[in-house]
Amino acid sequence: MNYEDKQAQRQAYYKQLKKVRSTEERRLLKEHTKRRPRGGRSRSNDDWSEEDAEEHAGFERIRSAPQMDLRAAQGAAPVGPGSAGVSLEGLREGLVVAVHRGRAVALVDGEELELTLGPDSPRPAAGDLAYFGPGHLPRLVALGERRTVISRPDPGHGNRELVLAANVDTAVIVASVRRPELRPGLVDRFLIAIARGGAQPLLVANKADLAPSDEERAELEQQLAPFRALGLDVIWTSAATGEGLEELGALLAEGTCVFVGHSGVGKSTLLNALDPSSERDTGTGREFDGKGRHTTTSAQLVELPSGGRLIDTPGIRSLGLWQVGRAELAGYFPEFAGPAQLCRFRDCAHLVEPECGVRDAVEEGDVAEARYDAYRRILGTLEE
């Protein structure tokens, strides 16, 4: 079976998995809910760092307060048109542009309308097609089927999926070259999450004005080279100087895109440069350690003046991978596909096994060592 067939099989598997949930998963979710103390934080997270707690507080704003059924709680493909037991007769529809705790905002006929989230409402995300009832504060009833998703495990409940954005065509990974420093490892993780969700990736090396010399750029280009080798488009940008903004705007002029990345990399600043009317809050890295600050606390969709739609999401400092196990991980490193055909063992993990084609390719320079190191690091964090 070639790589394309494996990818198609994997996508079909995940699609079916979203429709059928096991009794065991229901039991685990019920037990986890019982352990959840007032305030929303699981007792199993007592070892959270200060950064984890700060990140969780930001995402609390986009979590609906009531406990819902398993499909909604895990963020699986939501109830949509034609789903059994759900009638859309008499319902209105709109595009979800923002989600807050207990409510969502939808764009309906060019105007924003606030929707309430009831106990049986699905968990919406920016970019969703929402179906809702009549009234001054209509209740969200159903969501349209999602074409693509950008998601991660819920920081407060690791057995639930948190969808950051839905129905996006392009996921723009914004990575600053300075303040905070470039983190290729986080880019690797975003590439996996984007591939799993079905969108197309684009990498932006932002704050280019902070690396003005040719020597600095050459050093940073070495870190970006493995991503360019994958065929990934990489754009250098700076809201301060205007570098790359025209090229970026042209790429985002059609369809729906989403900004994702580390805290403080300048996503909101880029959005303000592309659309001055958005007036998103911006900030700089913390002076004592250079790490980014949270300036965006909820996802929001805006219409760009040049065309297209853009979803700005809260920055994160780490990214867990949803429903990616050790056996599937190598499939998200496309450069492994060819060399893996030469592995002695069909289930080779590319670690210590003899006659490993992937390790041989790394030694020969056909696979970037940085990418192989990223694979090994991520593999060590995944469950069987």
Q: Do 270 and 351 fall into the same domain? A: no
What integer pLDDT is reported at residue 135 of this predicted model?
Answer: 77
Distance CA 73, CA 76 (A): 8
Q: Do 139 and 128 fall into the same domain? A: yes
For 342, phi and psi rounded to 5 degrees? -95, 0
Distance CA 352, CA 183 (A): 27
Range of the domain at 240: 163-312
Q: Do 375 and 282 fall into the same domain? A: no
Q: Do 125 and 207 fall into the same domain? A: no
Please tell me the number of Cα atoms within 13 Å of 300 on its side-chain side. Answer: 18
Tally of CB atoms within 10 A around 143: 25
Distance CA 257, CA 106 (A): 17
CATH for 300? 3.40.50.300
Query: Is 317 a member of any domain?
Result: no
Three-class secondary structure of residue 92 per DSSP: strand
Residue 303 CA, chain-centre distance (Å), reads 20
CA distances from 376 to 198, 329, 351, 355, 370 (A): 24, 10, 8, 17, 10
Three-class secondary structure of residue 182 per DSSP: coil
Collect all residues with Cβ–Cβ distance below 8 Å to 194 and sequence separation of at least 6.
150, 171, 173, 200, 201
Find residue 303's DSSP bridge partners. 309
Instruction: Estimate the share of the chain in helix, then strand, then coil, as percent rounded to the nearest 5.
Output: 35, 20, 45
CATH for 132? 2.40.50.140
Find residue 70's DSSP bridge partners. none
Distance CA 269, CA 178 (A): 15
Contact at 8 Å (CB) between 249 and 228?
A: no
User: What is the full per-residue pLDDT of the chain (384 aa) written as tens digits?
Assistant: 555 665 566 565 445 544 444 444 445 445 544 544 444 444 334 444 444 444 444 444 334 333 333 333 333 344 443 344 567 888 999 999 999 988 999 999 989 999 999 888 999 999 999 999 887 789 999 999 999 999 999 888 878 999 999 999 999 999 999 999 999 999 999 999 999 999 999 999 999 999 989 999 999 999 999 999 999 999 999 999 999 999 999 999 999 999 999 999 999 999 999 998 766 555 544 443 444 344 556 789 999 998 899 999 988 888 999 999 999 999 999 999 999 999 999 999 999 999 999 999 999 999 999 999 999 999 999 865
CA distances from 382 to 321, 337, 363 (A): 8, 20, 25
Amino acid at the residue 368: A
Query: Is 321 a member of any domain?
Result: no
Q: Take residue 168 and report the two structure tokens written for it.
A: 């996006």
For 203, phi and psi rounded to 5 degrees? -110, 130
If 0-12 CB within 10 Å is exposed, 13-18 middle and 19+ buried, where does residue 46 land?
exposed
Count of domains forming the chain: 3
The number of residues making up the chain comes to: 384
What integer pLDDT is reported at residue 257 of this predicted model?
Answer: 97
Q: Do 139 and 239 fall into the same domain? A: no
Contact at 8 Å (CB) between 238 and 206?
A: yes
Q: How wide is the angle at C-alpha 301 spanned by C-alphas 266 and 256, nearest 5°? A: 95
Cis omega (within 30 of 0) for bond into 180:
yes
Query: Is 384 a member of any domain?
Result: no
Q: Take residue 207 and report the two structure tokens written for it.
A: 């704050």
Q: Do 226 and 273 fall into the same domain? A: yes
Collect all residues with Cβ–Cβ distance below 8 Å to 233 and sequence separation of at least 6.
202, 203, 251
Q: Do 77 and 176 fall into the same domain? A: no
Q: Do 91 and 180 fall into the same domain? A: no
CATH for 336? 1.10.40.50
pTM recorded for the entire structure: 0.75
Distance CA 170, CA 328 (A): 23
Distance CA 164, CA 364 (A): 39
Q: Do 246 and 116 fall into the same domain? A: no
What integer pLDDT is reported at residue 158 of this predicted model?
Answer: 79
What integer pLDDT is reported at residue 157 of this predicted model?
Answer: 83
Amino acid at the residue 237: T
Nearest to 238 by CA among 265, 219, 201: 265
Q: Do 150 and 182 fall into the same domain? A: no
